[in-house]
Amino acid sequence: MSKWLETAIFYEIYPQSFMDSNNDGIGDFKGIISKLDYIINTGFNAIWLNPCFDSPFGDAGYDVRDYKKTAERYGTNDDLKQLFDECHKRGMHILLDLVPGHTSVQHEWFKESMKAEKNEFSDRYIWTDSIWEHPEGVSCIRGISDRDGSCGVNFFSNQPALNYGYANPTRPYQQKPTDPAPMATRAAIKDIMKFWLDMGCDGFRVDMAGSLVKCDPEYKETIKLWQDINGYLKSYYPEAVMVSEWGEPKYSLQGGFAMDFLLHFGQEGYNSLFRCEEPFFSKRGKGTASVFAREYYENYKTAKENGGIICIPSGNHDMDRLARGRDHDELKCCFAFLLTMPGAPFVYYGDEIGMNYVEGLTSVEGGYNRTGSRTPMQWDRTPNYGFSKADKRMLYIKQDNSPSAPDVLSQTGDENSLYNTIRQLIEIRKNHPALLNYSEFEILSFEYPLVYRRYCEDEEIIILINPKNETAEYNLDKTGEIIYSLGEGAKISDNKVTVPKSGAVFIKIR
C-alpha cells in the first residue's frame, strides 16, 4: 500500500468550475495552480481532478477524444505537468480521472472502427454483426456508418463502449476477455496510464470501474481484468494509487484497488445518512444510521482483509450538493462524521463553504439535474464571486445568485464558519493517530447520538455526533477527557456524556 495514502485527505476539483485564469469563463490548470496554497492551507494534501483530456464535452469530459492530450480550454500538457510539479513541491499528491470504459464518438479509434473494411480497431468497440441485432448488456447506436452492425454504448449515445469482452460469450460477436481485441484494449489503457504516471500524476480515480467486462454479474472476469492492470501498476509504479468508482468494496478491492467509494447508487447506507427523505444528518432527528452501520461493517471487514480502504465522500459532480436542504449546523455535524471516519476523506470543491445546489439550471455538457452541483467556485464578493473576470454571460455554468450564497473570503474571517470548523476538524484528524485513515473502528450506537470508537496502539478516541435539534446523552463505560466539541453544553458527568443539539463531542480515553 502506498505510504502517502495513510494520511491522505482529498479535495475533488471539477476543473471547469474551480478558477479561471484567462478570463474566458471556464476554469483551467493555471487557475488551479493559483489556488493550491488555499487547498493545502485548508488541510487537504491530495487532489482528485475530474476529466481534463481532449473532448467534445458531450459529458463534461467523460467522453474522451484523445487520452494523451489535455483539453485546450484547460491548457497544455505542459501546464498539467506544471500542476503536478506544483502539487509535489507542496507535499501534495494528485489523481487524474481515468475513463477506461468508453470514448467519445470522435476518438480516432472509434472512427476507424466504423469503417466497413476490417482494420486494427474494428473490434476495439462492441459491434454486433448485424444492424438489426442489439448488443447484449448495453444500449446501442446504429446506422451511423457503412459498417453493418450496432455499437454498444455505456451511458450517453456519444460514448461507445470499449471492448473488454463478455464474461460468458453466447453470440458470435461476443469475445472472451482474453481474446486479442479485448487484450489490445487493456494494453492501450495501461499505456495511457504509463503516459501520465511518467509525467508525474500519482494515480487515478477510475470511472465506472465495475462495468468493463459485459454481462459479468458476479464481476469475476472484471476482477481478473483489474488484478492484471493493478498488478502492472504496482510492479512499475508502487506508490501510485488507484481509486475505483464501483461502490461495492467486496468486489473492487479484490481487483487490487487501494480504495473504493460508498456512493449514491448501489447500497442504500450512504443515502440513508445524507440523501433520502429523512436522512440521519438532519435536525429533524427522524433518521437512523442502522442501515449504514450494517453495510459499512461488511465493507469495512472486506477492506481490512484486502488491505484497502473505503472512502465516504461529502459529494461529487454526480450528486446533489451536501448543503441541499441543510443549514450550516447540520453541515458541521456531517463533517464531524466525515473527517473522523476511517478511510481517506474526500471533499467536493465548495462543500467546505456549504455551496448550494442551484435549482432549475439548464443542462450543461450532459449535466441535466447534476448541473446544479457543478456551478463555479465562490471565492469572494467581487463580480462572479472571484471565479472569473469574464463577462457574467460568458460563464459556462451560471452561478448561485441567492442571498445565502457563501464565499471563501467571508467564511475565512468568521471563526464560527463552516470553513473554519472543517479546518479545525482536519487539524484534529492529523494530530491524532487514532483518527488516521487506517486506524481501527467500531460502532457503539447508531441512533442519536451516533457513537463510534477510533483506536490504534497508542490512542483511543470516542466520537459522539448528534445532528438532532435536541440534546442527547450517552453512558460511557470508560473515563476520558473532551478534546473537541461542536455546539454549546458538551460535558461529562459520572461517565454520562451530554452531546449538544446539532453538535458533536470527541473524547480521548485515558
SS (H, E, C) 213-246: CECCCCCHHHHHHHHHHHHHHHHHCCCCEEEECC
> By the 8 A CB rule, do 422 and 335 touch?
yes
450 has which bridge partners?
Answer: 446, 465
- How far is it, in rounded angstroms, from Cα 246 to Cα 175? 23
Among candidates 387, 361, 384, which has minimal Cα distance to 372?
Answer: 361
- How far is it, in rounded angstroms, from Cα 306 to Cα 192? 26
Which class in CATH covers the domain with range 440-509? mainly beta
DSSP 8-state secondary structure symbol assigned to residue 400? P
**Pairing verdict, β 346-348 and 139-142:** unpaired
> By the 8 A CB rule, do 446 and 466 touch?
no
Q: What is the CATH number of domain 3-100+181-429?
A: 3.20.20.80
Torsion of the alpha carbons at 484, 486, 490 and 496, rounded to the nearest 10: -70
- How far is it, in rounded angstroms, from Cα 19 to Cα 26? 8
Per the listing, cell 472502427 goes with 113
CATH code 2.60.40.1180 region(s) in the chain: 440-509
**What is the DSSP track for 342-389?**
SS--EEETTGGGTPPP-TTPPP-TT-GGGGGG-PPP--SSSGGGGS-S
Number of residues written out for the chain:
510
Mean pLDDT by 10 residues, the chain (510 residues): 92 98 98 98 98 98 98 98 98 98 98 97 98 97 96 96 98 98 98 98 97 97 98 96 93 94 84 96 96 91 88 96 97 98 97 98 97 98 97 95 95 97 98 97 96 97 98 95 97 95 97
The three-state secondary structure class of 444 is strand
CATH code 3.20.20.80 region(s) in the chain: 3-100+181-429
> By the 8 A CB rule, do 171 and 179 touch?
no
Whole-prediction pTM: 0.97
Planar angle of CA 206, 179, 257, nearest 5 degrees: 25
- How far is it, in rounded angstroms, from Cα 278 to Cα 267? 17
- How far is it, in rounded angstroms, from Cα 96 to Cα 49? 5
- How far is it, in rounded angstroms, from Cα 421 to Cα 331? 10
> 150 φ, ψ to 5°?
-110, 145
- How far is it, in rounded angstroms, from Cα 8 to Cα 202? 12
Instruction: Give pLDDT, residue 305.
Output: 86
CATH code 3.90.400.10 region(s) in the chain: 102-163
CATH fit for domain 102-163, picks 3.40.50.300, 3.90.400.10, 3.40.30.10, 3.80.30.20: 3.90.400.10
Alpha-carbon Rg for the chain, nearest whole angstrom, is 23
Instruction: Please list, residue by residue across 92-121, b when 16 or more beta carbons sit within 10 angstroms of its beta carbon and e when fewer do.
Output: bbbbbbbbbbbbbbbbebbeebbeeeeeeb
Q: Catalogue the E-assigned strands of 154-289.
A: 203-206, 241-244, 259-261
In angstroms, the Cα distances linking 146 to 21, 34, 113, 235 are 44, 49, 11, 43
Per the listing, cell 473504493 goes with 260
- How far is it, in rounded angstroms, from Cα 202 to Cα 61? 20
